[in-house]
Amino acid sequence: MKTRFACAALFSILILSGCGSLEDIAPKAERKLPQQIMQVMKAKGMSKGAPIMMRVFKEEGVLEVWKQKPDGRYDLVTSYEICKWSGKLGPKLVEGDRQAPEGFYTIRPQQMNPQSSYHLAFNIGFPNTYDRANGRTGQHLMVHGACSSSGCYSMSDEQVEEIYAFARDAFRGGQQAFQFQAFPFRMTAENMARYRNDPNYPFWEMLKEGYDHFELTRSPPKVDVCERRYVFNRIAPDGASFDPTGACPPTTQPAELLMAYQAYKKRQDLEMARARLKWTRKEPKPSITGIEEAKLVADWSRRRARGERVSAEPPSLAPTMMAKNKPLISAPVTAYAPTAEASAAETASAAATTAPAGAQASATASAAPSAVTESQVQVGAPPLTTGSVPNSGRPAAAPAQSAPAPAAQPGGLNRLWNMFRN
């Protein structure tokens, strides 16, 4: 009893005298997750130390925390509103361009910073293997507190304490590293159609393959880099490896996964084709137009740091310059090569919107997923320069015959004039 009284008295003296604080007694890096979150985890069968994964979406301004369930699949635990992120949609290209990274990153215990000047932080790991293979530069890109960003994803102090606790508990539970996925927006068919004319679209289309693999399997995809591109859930033969700047080795995927992804992608392609025909009020957000704009912003950042007089906002290339920029990368390597049927999916979808009900049913049936051939299981066989799978031997679909246009009908004035002439 006397010991407890003495401890309580000492605690009161430290606080009142200003010689100590609650941070000394309960360090911010050791704060426990709120009871409400613990109850959510318990209801979903998740243990405190189960592995985690995180996703961020720039346009929606959201950071999600996912956690593994006993069956091995991941489920969403909670999400946080991002307090601030700098730059525009699109990847980080050069140091100083103020862009927050996009891509697939790996977080290990040594990247956690409990002594951050921004309350708490962890390093995203930029540049990763893909970034280095494409000559992208930058460093010290973080998820941190203090709600201030120059290329980072910044949260409030309260939020970052919880996010940090998720990572801390997972590492203490035995997880060696967790995946951090950064996207420009939720990569739905509607959003992809909305941004189809953006100069970053080829890069985003590549990210979508990894996004789709997670949506399909609810497990973080295995990520590798070859031909300066991300590849997902590929298995190289014994003795072969993925060279980030070299040709992709011959790879395979489990037939069950490949078949499921093929069917999923066909549905996505149909939805995207329909979305392109719809008008939407939601305008695309500004995005970085390419390396030239990134260099302009980086120069602006350097001059600003030197104390020179610069504009209040970073420079931006005019929209008319966007068409002059080359795509940031070539078309992505995909785990599913479109067949003749898939290439006709958009045409079938467009016809279905204007055809009668019977014709719509026929168009939908013709776009149904087909079985995966054995040659499609072997993905990326050499020489691989386009990411296509070997030809399955099916004949190409015959080109659709367009119906002749109906003859123009005379207008009302012409009919009236003909009456008087007769």
What region does 18 belong to: left with phi over 0, alpha with psi -120 to 50, or beta? left
Q: First vs last Cα of the chain: how many Å apart?
A: 120
Q: Map residue 89 onto helix, strand or coil.
A: strand
Residues belonging to the active site: 144, 152
Collect all residues with Cβ–Cβ distance below 8 Å to 228 and sequence separation of at least 6.
130, 133, 134, 244, 245, 329
The amino acid present at 73, given as its one-letter code, is R
Q: CA 146, CA 142: separation in Å to the nearest integer? A: 12
Q: CA 37, CA 157: separation in Å to the nearest integer? A: 17
Beta bridge partners of 252: 235, 378
CA distances (Å), origin 329, targets 33, 174, 264: 41, 37, 24
Beta bridge partners of 123: 142
Contact 125, 105 (CB under 8 A): yes
Burial of 260 (0-12, 13-18, 19+ CB in 10 A): middle
